[in-house]
Chains A and B, each alone.
Chain A
Amino acid sequence: MKRLSLALAVAAFGFASAPAFAQGFSGHVKARQGQFRVLAINLGILGSIAKGETPYDAATAQAAADTIVAVSMINQPPLWPAGSDNMAIEGTRALPVIWENMADVGAKWGALGEAAKGLQAAAGTDAAAIGAALGPVGGACKACHDTYRAPQG
């Protein structure tokens, strides 16, 4: 009887803990994707200025570029726990190869930070300078997505 209740308790724990883990990862995935959304929105502000769709405004451009630099300083490893890849869970395009090359992923995140600083320095100049500085940022995005992000589901 004791053994049965122990077995039931173990089973119940297993049953309860699996969704709890999945929920934990969903928070990580939201955080990851949220920071990329913040990047995208601010890149959109600068891209619109660079393309001449929105008139250049130094304060707006600087705030957007500063925000991109701020996001680039978020410490990444806690957001990428093992088992939160697109083979293991739904709702992510993060490929398992990320966890085999964490050092390279970290270096590529660092490269984004460098490119973001270039954007920060250019933001106060004019639309053309912003356009030129957006190139390396786009390059940093691609360099990582090329290897580590699956195509759209």
Chain B
Amino acid sequence: MSHVAAIVARCQALFEDLNFTAAREWKEAAPGRIVVGFMPFYVPRELIHAAGGLALGVLGGGDQLEVIQGDAYYQSYICRIPRSTIELGVTSRLDFVDAMLFPSICDVIRNLSGMWKIMFPKVKSRYVDVPQNFSDAVGGSFYVSELGELRDILARLAGREITDDALRNSIAVYNENRALVREVYAFRARFPWKAPSAEVYLLMRAGMVLPVEEHSAMLRDYLDATAREERPRRDNSRVVVTGAFCEQPPLSLIKSIELAGCYIVDDDFMLVNRWEKSDVAADGDPLAALSHAYLHDSLETAAKYQPDQSKKGQWLIEAVQRSGAEGVIFASASFCDPALLERPMLQRALAARGIPYIAFKFAENSGQMQPIREQAGTFADSIKLWSAA
């Protein structure tokens, strides 16, 4: 087994382990450790880290989890991630998690925060509100206060004070991790055949369950190993995949897109890994630094308001340009309000620039890849035809 293959195999094993054994073992390895689960798209993981905790990304159950009880809580017109997340909860797969954080992404996840309080009263459940007003004095001051509340909650849970120094240290640790994540993305955009999307996806997923330091080491290792490995380059088109920032597509879908002739050169699968676009200030007031980064230096997604109409969708055009993509694939979870309501506006922005796109929907447990392969394949072919014309 090559070194790359070994890294990927480790990631794959972590990805498939719906009992989160690695995180459980981490928690048991030393007394006083806490594990804090969080859902997409973003939480300030630095606070958890500074409390001596592990930030555990809970991204649903994927296509290998049979949802038996979770379905009893949702109507047929609601997406799948909350069902499988409840299934993980009621089947005790998350019984080692001390707290669950539910970000402000949509009404379904928002309501799940309250459901969790009722269903799992021993777990500290917290809705993480983020400002939609981007002035420091208004939205910023609200967010600093929210961060402060969360800091107190985590400190109580961990039984230790979260000092500013500890927070600054955690910010630095995550800055390093984010830099490596950005590097992986940049590497893939340049050499997509050397960093297939399924591999990059699994690497990023590993960051959801591993301690950040271990994840950083893994990313470094992977970059190093894959750069040295020769792999065949295919005549694929280059696409940005967007709309899958919450419920995750099955791995087979990501593979299908690439097999059908599209290199994925950017995506929004796990925004939390690179939410802040550059380093967060690791000196001064750490909460103010986190807030400042959120307000002024973070990615965009459907859950975040864009106050400036002229900038709507600009980030996607920039992503296309930065990654050298030739088209965009909108892959959204069925019944995903943010992604699906956002989509027409993004499509308009792309159309204005002449950037081609296609759109389809998935569920985390979609079983049929044939339509995906067909659509992605046709898209890849037509991109080539257009660029040849």
A and B: partners? no
Interface residues of chain B, those whose CB is within 8 Å of chain A, are none
